[in-house]
Structure formats: C-alpha cells, structure tokens
A and B are shown apart, each in its own frame.
Chain A
Amino acid sequence: SQELEQSPQSLIVQEGKNLTINCTSSKTLYGLYWYKQKYGEGLIFLMMLQKGGEEKSHEKITAKLDEKKQQSSLHITASQPSHAGIYLCGADRRGDTGRRALTFGSGTRLQVQP
C-alpha cells in the first residue's frame, strides 16, 4: 500500500513568517489532498491536486504537486494565528485495488506565535 511521509512533524513560527510543509509518496499520486484539522475536530478540505506540476492557491495557502507526482508542498504566506492546527496530506488510493479511500500522512502540527 502507499505510504505518505510528512515533514516536518511540528513547526513553530512567528506570526507573519512564511512556512512550507512537505508530503512525499513512495508511489505515483493519483490525487493529493490537503486538509487542516483543529484538535479534536474533523478535517477541513483545503485543496486537491491531480496533475503533475499543478499549483492551487486559496487565500494565503498555496499547494503544489511536482511533475513526477510523488511530492507535494503546502506553503503559507504571512502566517496568522488562525493558520494554527494540524495539516494532513492524503493520497487517493484509486490505483490501489480500485477503491476511493485515502491514505494519510501522520500530519504536521503548526503553531503560530503572535
């Protein structure tokens, strides 16, 4: 089965600083999802990337999928306390036995200090 490695595991930044979270797959990604989670709550969908080289942005968050479709990065510009939480990448397992569930990385815990 596919494994996803996220780095770093945790991150503390000062408000206003930029940051990047990485997600690396051992296999080609059919679809790569980024979610944000507040502690003890459900996952909030951020973005989904499918095509090699694809880049999407929403407000101050930009996600990219590399040309080989094995690595994705999530970049936050001018971080704010509202960006704090756990960021999870998930990979579409469609190519793995044909089912549509997601495989997740272990998450990156982000703290933003005022």
Chain B
Amino acid sequence: DGGITQSPKYLFRKEGQNVTLSCEQNLNHDAMYWYRQDPGQGLRLIYYSQIVNDFQKGDIAEGYSVSREKKESFPLTVTSAQKNPTAFYLCASSTADTQYFGPGTRLTVL
C-alpha cells in the first residue's frame, strides 16, 4: 500500500528536551511538508521541501528543524527553543495537483 506514515502517534516530552517526529512516504513524491494544528484552528506551515537536500521555512519555523537526506523521509525536530510545542503535527507530500496527509503525531509537553 502506498501512503504516508508518521510515528509515533503519541509523543510526550519534558520541557527542555528535543524530540524528532518521523515522516515517511512511498508515493515517490518530490515535495513534502510539515504542518502544525492547534485545537479549533486550521493547519499552519512549519517547513517544506520540494526536492532532496533542499528545504524552506514556512510561516512558523522558529524552534523547529528538518532534514531531507532521502526522498522518502522528512523528519521534524522540535527543539527546546519552541515555546509552545504541544500540538498535533501533520506531514504531507504532494503531486502536481494534490496534497496527501499522514495520520499525524500528537505531541504533548509535560
């Protein structure tokens, strides 16, 4: 089955710790994205990558970092510099016309 996988589904972090969220796709898409969703709100763009070894900041990149070493993988690191990291994180990849989403990771900072 082709699709986008995110792991873990739930993640708990202590304040001051960095944590990495995984995103893998086997759809052979060049472009990948990370969004953040807060309760009652739409999605906001964190980072995006249109090709391997290249990525760009989105609207709310502060406190986050990414890498794109392989076409299939686009991990997101939430650093201790992110002041309010508790949220639902969604990864996506796209064709020319359509953007597909993974199942999401819920991050909670304790």
Residues of A within 8 A of B (CB): 1, 4, 31, 33, 35, 40-45, 48, 88, 90, 99-107
The smallest C-beta distance from A4 to any residue of chain B, in angstroms, reads: 7
Q: Within the assembled complex, what's the spacing in Å between the Cα atoms of A31 and B101?
A: 17
**Chain B residue contacts of A44, Cβ below 8 A:** 101
Given known A-B contacts A45-B99, A106-B42, A101 and B33 have beta carbons under 8 A apart? yes
Given known A-B contacts A40-B104, A100-B48, A45 and B90 have beta carbons under 8 A apart? no
Interface residues of B in 40-92 (CB under 8 A from A): 40-45, 48, 50, 56, 58-59, 88, 90, 92
Judging by beta carbons under 8 Å apart, are A42 and B103 in contact?
yes
Q: Within the assembled complex, what's the spacing in Å between the Cα atoms of A99 and B50?
A: 9
Judging by beta carbons under 8 Å apart, are A43 and B101 in contact?
yes
Judging by beta carbons under 8 Å apart, are A102 and B97 in contact?
no
Q: Within the assembled complex, what's the spacing in Å between the Cα atoms of A44 and B33?
A: 16
Question: Can you offer 24 A-B residue contacts whose CB atoms are under 8 A?
Answer: A1-B59, A4-B42, A31-B97, A35-B101, A40-B106, A42-B4, A42-B102, A42-B104, A43-B43, A43-B101, A45-B99, A90-B43, A100-B31, A100-B48, A100-B50, A100-B99, A101-B45, A101-B48, A104-B43, A104-B44, A105-B42, A106-B41, A106-B42, A107-B42
The smallest C-beta distance from B44 to any residue of chain A, in angstroms, reads: 8
Judging by beta carbons under 8 Å apart, are A42 and B43 in contact?
no
Q: Within the assembled complex, what's the spacing in Å between the Cα atoms of A43 and B99?
A: 10
Q: Within the assembled complex, what's the spacing in Å between the Cα atoms of A41 and B66?
A: 22
Q: Chain B: which residue is nearest A35 at the CB level?
A: B101
Judging by beta carbons under 8 Å apart, are B104 and A90 in contact?
no
Among B45, B88, B99, find the residue whose CB has the most chain A CB atoms closer than 10 A: B99
Q: Within the assembled complex, what's the spacing in Å between the Cα atoms of A90 and B98?
A: 11
